[in-house]
Amino acid sequence: MWNMKQLAYGALARRANQIKDELRQGVRKPYKEVIDVFQGDLHGAGMKPLTFVRQVLAACVYPPLINSNNLPLDVRQRAQKELGRCVGGSVGSYSAAAGIPEIVHSISEFIKRRDGGIPSHPENIYISPGSQWSISNILNVLVNREASPRTGVLIPVPCYNITVLSITQLGAVTVPYYLSEEQAWALQVEELQRALESAKGVCSPVALYVINPGNPAGYVQSQKSVQEVIRFAWEKRLFLLVDELYQDCVYGENCEFVSYKRTLSEMGPPFSGTVELASFHSVSKGFLGECGLRAGYVELVNLDPAVMKHIHTIFSKDSCAPVLGQIALDLMTDPPKPGDPSYPLYKQVGPENCTLVINSLPGFSCPPLEGGLFAFPRLNLTPKAVQKAKVTAEMQEDPDTFYCTRLLEEGGVFTSPGWEYGQKEGTYHIRFCIAAPQDIMEELLRRLSSFHMTFMKDFS
C-alpha cells in the first residue's frame, strides 16, 4: 500500500529544478515558469507574508528599528514586549526548553479562546522547531523499541507521508485505516475497528493518528465524527495523536473546526479525564504560512506526570525552538485586535473554483474541498495510460508518478503523486497546494485542464 521510496519525490524535485534552470537559461518550453504547488509552502507558492508579522520580527532582530518612526507604533511596542521576554533582551539567546514562558502562556490563552473557554495549561504546552519534530518526539516516547510484538500506530490513508516515515524509523508498525473517499473522505469507526483487528498477531497498537482538517485530502471532521474517534480511542486505550495544523484553514460550507481537546472536554467523564491526547499546530500553515521560521507547538492532555517528565527531557535535548519562530507563534496566537494600526488583512483564496474546474475534467473527481491547503483529486487513468506507465522503466508501478512527471514536463506544474500518501490499490491521485495567489491558481487550473485533455487523448 505504501511505498516508502523517497525516490519519486527526489526524481520529480530534481527534474523540477532542472526545468527551472533550463528556463532561466532561455530554453523554450510551452510555459515561462514552473508553478510549484508540490508542498504546502505558501510563500514558496507566491503568497505574501503578513506585514505586521515581518515588521515585528525585523524590529526584534535589529532593535534600533524600535526607535524608528517608519514602523507603526503597535509594531514597535510589540517588538519591545517580545524582546523583554528574551534572555539578555536578544533573539540570539536560548529560551527555556519548552519555549519562552510568556509565549507558552499566550498559546494557552489562544487555545482557551478557540475552545470556548475550556482551560489550557501552559505546563502542558511545548514549543518545537516545527510540528513534525514534536510528532517524532512524542512517537519516540510511545514506541517501545524492544517490544515484541512491535508497537503499532493506526494511521489514515491517505496520510502525510513524513509522519509515516517517522513511525517506521522508530521501528514501529503502521496500521492503515482507509478514509472513505466516496463519502468525502469520512473517517468511519467500523474501519478503525477493522484496522485494529488486522493488527492482531502483527503488532500491538498503542496510538491512533488523525489529521483534521485533512492533508492530503481536504476534509474537515464534524464534531460527531471527532466524538466517535475519541470514544474508540477510550475503548481501545489508544493514545490520540492529532494533527490539527490546518485548524485555521476551514472554508467548506457548513464546516467548522472543532478541536479534539474541546470535544474531549465536553464529552465529560469517563472520557475527559482519561484519553491521552497530543494536538499539534504550527506557524507554517494557517494565516502566517511561515514555514521557513520552523516553529510549532504541541498541547498534551491527560498524560502521566512521569511521561511528561520524560517528554521534558527529550524536548530539552535540542536546547529550544528558534526564538524568532517562537515570536511568530506569539503573533499568530495573539494577533493585532480590530482597531490596532496593524490589524491584519488576510484573504483566504477561494477553493470553490478549484473543485469546480477539477470535477469538470473527464477522469478527475474530487469531493468538495472543506479545509486544509491541498486538493487530492482522484485520477481515473485509462488502462492504456496505466500500461504505458508500467513499461516506462524509471516510473514502473506508479502510474500517478507518470502523470505528475508529464504534467511537470509538458504543463510546467509541479505536483506530487498519490502513492506517496497511500491510496487504495488501483486508485490514483495527485496532490497540490491550493493556497497560491488567485492569478497563479487560475493559471495552474488552465495548465492542468489543457495538459489533462491532451493526456487523456494520447492514452484513450
Decide whether 14 or 224 has the Cβ nearer to its own copies. 14
DSSP state of 241: E
Identified binder of its own copies from the candidate list 2, 12, 34, 41, rule CB under 8 A: 41
Least Å distance, CB 250 to its own copies, is: 22
- Of all helices (H) and strands (E), which one includes residue 430? strand 430-433
CA distance 389 to 384: 9
Question: What burial letters (b/e) apply to 212-233, b meaning 16+ CB within 10 Å?
Answer: bbbbbbbbbbbeebbbbbbebb
- Please choose, from the candidates 337, 343, 244, the residue with its C-alpha nearest in 3D space to the C-alpha of residue 286: 244
Decide whether 62 or 346 has the Cβ nearer to its own copies. 62
Which residue is listed with cell 491521485?
429
Identified binder of its own copies from the candidate list 12, 76, 95, 329, rule CB under 8 A: 95
CA distance 408 to 416: 10
Residues 9-28 that bind its own copies (CB under 8 A): none
CA distance 171 to 193: 23
- Pairing type for strands 35-36 and 277-282 reads unpaired
Give the x/- contact pattern for its own copies in 293-312, rule: CB under 8 A. xx------------------
Decide whether 150 or 390 has the Cβ nearer to its own copies. 150
Cβ atoms of residues 346 and 408 within 8 Å: no
Give the x/- contact pattern for its own copies in 125-164, rule: CB under 8 A. ----xx-xx--x--------x----------------x--
216 binds its own copies (CB under 8 A): no
Stretch touching its own copies by CB under 8 A, among 57-65, 109-117, 382-390, 402-410: 57-65
Identified binder of its own copies from the candidate list 274, 313, 348, 454, rule CB under 8 A: 313
Decide whether 130 or 418 has the Cβ nearer to its own copies. 130
Decide whether 144 or 382 has the Cβ nearer to its own copies. 144
437 binds its own copies (CB under 8 A): no
Residue 384, Cα to own-chain centre: how many angstroms?
A: 34
Decide whether 10 or 273 has the Cβ nearer to its own copies. 10
Decide whether 144 or 427 has the Cβ nearer to its own copies. 144
59 binds its own copies (CB under 8 A): yes
Whether omega for the bond prior to residue 149 falls within 30 degrees of 0, making it cis, is: yes
- Cα end-to-end distance, the chain, whole Å: 27
Least Å distance, CB 410 to its own copies, is: 23
Cβ atoms of residues 238 and 276 within 8 Å: no
CA distances to 122, 151, 318, 331 from 243, in Å: 19, 20, 22, 21
Decide whether 108 or 161 has the Cβ nearer to its own copies. 161
199 Cβ contact list (under 8 Å, min separation 6):
152, 154, 173, 175, 205
SS3 373: coil
With both helix axes pointing from N to C terminus, report the angle between 438-458 and 399-411 in degrees, rounded to the nearest 10: 120
Least Å distance, CB 414 to its own copies, is: 12
Residues 162-181 that bind its own copies (CB under 8 A): 162, 165-166, 169, 171
Least Å distance, CB 49 to its own copies, is: 5
For its own copies, the binding residues (CB under 8 A) are 6, 36, 39, 41-46, 49, 54-55, 57-59, 61-62, 65, 68, 70, 86-88, 90-95, 129-130, 132-133, 136, 145, 162, 165-166, 169, 171, 288-294, 313-314, 316-325
